[in-house]
Amino acid sequence: MEGKMIDENGLRIDGRKVDELRPIKIEAGVLKRADGSAYVEWGKNKVLAAVYGPRECHPRHLQDPSKALVQCKYNMIAFSVSDRKRPGPDRRSVEISKIISEALEYVVFTEYFPRTSVDVYIEILQANAGTRCAGLTAASVALADAGIPMKDMIPSVAVGKIDDQVVLDLCKEEDNYGQADLPIAVVPRTGDILLMQMDGHMTLDEFNKAMEYGFGACEKIYQLQKDALKRRYAVEDVEGLEEEAPREQQDMEG
Amino acid sequence: MARAIMSDIKRDHIHKLLSKGKRVDGRNWDEFRQITVETKYVESAEGSARVRLGNTDVLVGVKMQTGTPFEDTPDRGVLATNAELIPLASPTFEAGPPDEDSIELARVVDRGIRESEMIDLSALCITPKEEVWMCFVDVYVLDYDGNLFDASFLGAVAALKSAIVPAATFGKGENFPLPTKSTPISCTAVQIENSILLDPTLDEEKVADARLTVTTDENGDLRAMQKGLEGSLKLEQVRKIIETSQRLGKELRKLVG
């Protein structure tokens, strides 16, 4: 497959440049019952995240008298990948759930809610490489949508390597021939790295290039996260609001 | 690992020393504890190694048998890694199926071996699509005093390098040494209040904010990384850990031949 994934113009199989993200759409507050939720469409990835809590911590022996626990469950649904995935947690999803929980715990003010649990559920509806990053990106928006006090939202993206070139945000076809995969999550405001994994083969120079792409992309994704929240809570019709105000007053009097 | 309870007095002691640039056991920030590697420790295994890293004690064994290859890799052997945090090793370890800590440990060890292409899996093919060698790496923690990642990885690498493929037992010709192509080494560091400490002890792990494991090959190239814990790392700190891993990898590699 060598030399086939990037053409002579430096464009990839889906027409992107090496440092270009797939199209990303984020929507906040998409589920009724959850305290907070978000939907992310990231290229061909489709991801839902829901937040419940802070609520009573289960199992109870995990309760921490000094802070809340952030318990994330990452799950791929059975028909999200080409070969059916056996339902239930496997070793990969247990690991991903753990590192996403750890990243989220950093931004949540857990000390405000001792003994409780903030439960985050990430469901991958359709997978096309980069699902853990899309999942974490969605989970951050869902946490904010739930009104959970937090320091910041966490954008996340994977940088890869194909045809001996460092490339941002691999899609499935590229991932199959990838020489390295390096998912990261960075809070742009502080430069805090909250998630970092790597497998494959990279030199230190390539790593530095990957960080340049990854940090840049995280800033863009962060903006999309903020936009999604603003859209969710924007007040569109100012007149309508004025009409509603007296009605509320009546209610209170009655 | 699971957040164990830590007395304030111990925590303060570690922090106070760190503010003067010191560690509880007097090591430099980039200094490993004493390491001993004893291979061929268990005779019933195809390969094995007992690694002592300070007071951390890990036993790794390799078992091999024939089996069918995965459909997507019909001409390659199979590598599977498992880790057991048995209750013998720590009051915080519980019996039962692998929890997230042992799964993460096993997967980080597995990734380092797999991604560095340490084992020549294509040489473990017997009949394409039908029969290949399956190589099981099992990590048992015997005594837990921090940094299971590096102790386990060193043990896995040493055990694999000492492994003999039991071809005769399975009627596949003469026994031969497990074909390996490289010697990857992992180095793990923690960040405590913006200090970076390599090879953390259990007490250091308990007060650590973030952890990073970096696996490099002979060329110093990156083969695997894993960040853990709830804290954050700055890019400069990541670079510092990578460079230290490249440097110390050379020394540690000598221990496993």
Are B107 and A92 a contacting pair at CB < 8 A? yes
Number of domains within chain A: 1
Cα torsion angle, B169, B174, B180, B185, sign: positive
State the pTM of this model.
0.83
Per-residue tokens: A115: 């003994």
Residue A2 lies in a domain: no
Is the Cβ–Cβ distance between A156 and A137 less than 8 Å? yes
Residue in this structure with the two tokens 């507050």, named with its chain if needed: A29
Decide if B229 touches A, using CB distance below 8 A: yes
Contacting residues of B for A197, CB less than 8 Å apart? 225-227
Residue A77 lies in a domain: yes
Q: Residues B133, B134, B136, B137: what is their CA dihedral angle, to the nearest 10 degrees?
A: 60
Residue A111 lies in a domain: yes
Strands (E) across chain A are located at 24-28, 36-42, 45-56, 69-76, 116-126, 156-162, 165-168, 180-187, 192-202
pLDDT digits 0-9 by tens, A128-145: 999 999 999 999 999 999
Cα–Cα dist A107/A153, whole Å: 7
Are B100 and A94 a contacting pair at CB < 8 A? yes
**Nearest to A211, CA basis, from B233, B201, B204:** B233
Determine phi and psi for A130, rounding to 5 degrees: 85, 25
Contacting residues of B for A105, CB less than 8 Å apart? 230
User: At A67, which CATH number?
Assistant: 3.30.230.70
Are A203 and B242 a contacting pair at CB < 8 A? no
Q: In chain B, which stretches have pLDDT less than 70?
A: 1-4
**Nearest to B204, CA basis, from B186, B188, B190:** B190
pLDDT digits 0-9 by tens, A64-80: 999 999 999 999 988 89
Contacting residues of A for B234, CB less than 8 Å apart? 191-193
Q: Residue A204 is nearest to which of B106, B235, B242, comparing CB atoms?
A: B242
Sequence letter at residue A179: Q
CA A145 from centre of chain: 13
Domains (range + CATH), chain B: 33-255 (3.30.230.70)
Task: Look at residue A242 and tell me whether its pLDDT is greater than 60.
Answer: no
pLDDT score for B94: 82
Contacting residues of A for B111, CB less than 8 Å apart? 199
Cα–Cα dist B207/B193, whole Å: 9
The CB density around residue A235, as the number of other CB atoms within 10 Å, is 7
Sequence letter at residue B202: L
Is the Cβ–Cβ distance between A6 and A12 less than 8 Å? yes
Decide if A99 touches B, using CB distance below 8 A: yes
Compare B88 and A48 and report the one with higher pLDDT: A48
Residue in this structure with the two tokens 């519980």, named with its chain if needed: B94
Residue A9 lies in a domain: no
Residue A87 lies in a domain: yes
Flag the least confident range among A209-218, A221-230, B90-99, B139-148.
Answer: B90-99
Residue A163 lies in a domain: yes
pLDDT digits 0-9 by tens, A35-45: 999 999 999 99
Is the Cβ–Cβ distance between A108 and A154 less than 8 Å? no
Q: Residue B115 is nearest to which of A64, A194, A199, comparing CB atoms?
A: A199
Residue A159 lies in a domain: yes
- CA–CA min distance B170, chain A (Å): 30
Q: Residue A106 is nearest to which of B230, B239, B246, comparing CB atoms?
A: B230
Residue A185 structural domain: 24-253
Are A102 and B228 a contacting pair at CB < 8 A? yes
Is the Cβ–Cβ distance between B105 and B83 less than 8 Å? yes
